[in-house]
Amino acid sequence: MKIPFNKPFTVGNELSNIAKTVLVNASTSGDGEFTRDCQLWLERTLGTHKALLAHSCTAALEMAAILCDIGPGDEVILPSFTFVSTANAFVLRGGVPVFVDITPDTYNIDTTRIEQAITPRTKAIVPVHYAGVACDMNAITGIARAHGLRVVEDAAQALLSKHEDRFLGAIGDMGCLSFHETKNIISGEGGALLINDEGLAERAEIIWQKGTNRKKFDRGFVDKYTWVDIGSSFLPSELIAAFLFAQMQHAGQIIDRRRALCQRYAQLLAPLARAGRIKIGEAGAGNGHIFSILAGSHEEQGRLLRHLKERGVGAVFHYIPLHSSEAGRKYGRVAGPMTVTDDVSSRLVRLPVFYEMTDEEQDYTVDSVASFYSAART
């Protein structure tokens, strides 16, 4: 059996929406009907002041860095256990990523280590909600208020996950979402910037529209639009938005299915966890985005990944910590020991999770993991 790590899928009107964009609306460039539908869905569902669709979460993070007024030498506090875009967006503005360790239970930023990382150059804190599991946003926003810092939530993996009664991405000054094909709700590539601080909304639209005041022109406030600020081409095509809006209309159904898959994994692998052979991540605690296990060592991680590959199971590691990467050492710095980050990244294995995954495919994946540890015991 061949089981991919991820599998793109359709669940509703994705293809008919694309056809409507081309054949009926006769416009495939950005900021059309489906872009506005997606943005309105995000605003109403998540409770954010303004949502701006982007061609990726990377683009959303880059817009957030501009809105934070990051300049050369300004520091941004974030975990090292994250994707490169979390740091790269701020490095592009001349910022310095300051890497903080994570907690061993959630793999999220250790909030007890944030304040000691703050210096007079600190401009922002960027919590990453790993696997859709919420960071301690009460602690983070409290620290930010005390020190006059912006909070930019990297909620790439966290659509429809909550911290207490609020959706992730809609709590800090800004939030960034991803709709990459590996995420729960997909559009191939795609993302969104959530503006929760109303005072940032007008400038965000200008940055989004290549640095022009085109939205004022569209609303009839000016008779011509012109270049007024820095910006770039952050809008996605209407084809992306058309596909995405169909997925949004089934978001609850999609996430319920992924949560169920993660919970079933946890049940099936519980004997190995009880025996101390593996540690299971917080299955079902977020939005079902990731199911992970921790192997006993880095060497065991490598052997397990090779075993699963030989069995046709598309498992992967996650991540090489940014502080130990070539660019991370060049552009950033660490604040304190990175003990948990180094340990987790050296042992973590992500198992396949996708909407159309069958029980048979999941059973085969679990049997493949179990066969590795059964062989290792003999």
Closest of 342, 328, 334, 335 to residue 88, by C-alpha: 328
Residue-wise pLDDT for 180-194, tens only, equals: 999 999 999 999 999
pLDDT of residue 303: 98
Q: Sorting pLDDT into bands at 50, 70 and 90, what band is 102?
A: very high
Q: How many domains does the chain have?
A: 2
Q: Sorting pLDDT into bands at 50, 70 and 90, what band is 283?
A: low
- Rounded mean pLDDT, 298-318: 97
**Pick from 248, 283, 315: which residue ends a domain?**
248
1 in any annotated domain: no
- Rounded mean pLDDT, 270-276: 96
Same domain, 103 and 222: yes
Same domain, 278 and 158: no
Same domain, 230 and 329: no
Under 8 Å CB-to-CB from 218, ≥6 apart: which residues?
none
61 in any annotated domain: yes
Q: What is the DSSP string of 42-54?
A: HHHHH--SEEEEE
Same domain, 240 and 255: no
Same domain, 141 and 19: yes
Residue 126: give the domain boundaries: 14-248
Same domain, 30 and 124: yes
- Rounded mean pLDDT, 184-205: 98
Please state, as a whole number, how many other Cβ atoms lie within 10 Å of the Cβ of residue 121: 13
Q: What is the CATH number of the domain that holds 26?
A: 3.40.640.10
- Rounded mean pLDDT, 122-138: 97
**Pick from 231, 248, 265: which residue ends a domain?**
248
- Rounded mean pLDDT, 167-175: 98
356 in any annotated domain: yes
**Pick from 221, 248, 275: which residue ends a domain?**
248
Same domain, 222 and 99: yes
pLDDT of residue 204: 98
187 in any annotated domain: yes
Same domain, 147 and 43: yes
131 in any annotated domain: yes
pLDDT above 60: residue 197: yes
2 in any annotated domain: no
7 in any annotated domain: no
pLDDT above 80: residue 378: no
pLDDT above 50: residue 286: yes
Same domain, 100 and 237: yes
Same domain, 99 and 164: yes
The residue assigned the tokens 């191939």 is 188
5 in any annotated domain: no
Structure tokens at 120: 């007079």
Q: What is the CATH number of the domain that holds 328?
A: 3.90.1150.10
| High-pLDDT (> 70) share of the chain, % | 99
pLDDT of residue 218: 86
pLDDT above 80: residue 57: yes
Q: Sorting pLDDT into bands at 50, 70 and 90, what band is 284?
A: low
Same domain, 91 and 195: yes
**pTM exceeds 0.75 for this model:** yes
- Rounded mean pLDDT, 264-276: 96
Same domain, 272 and 233: no
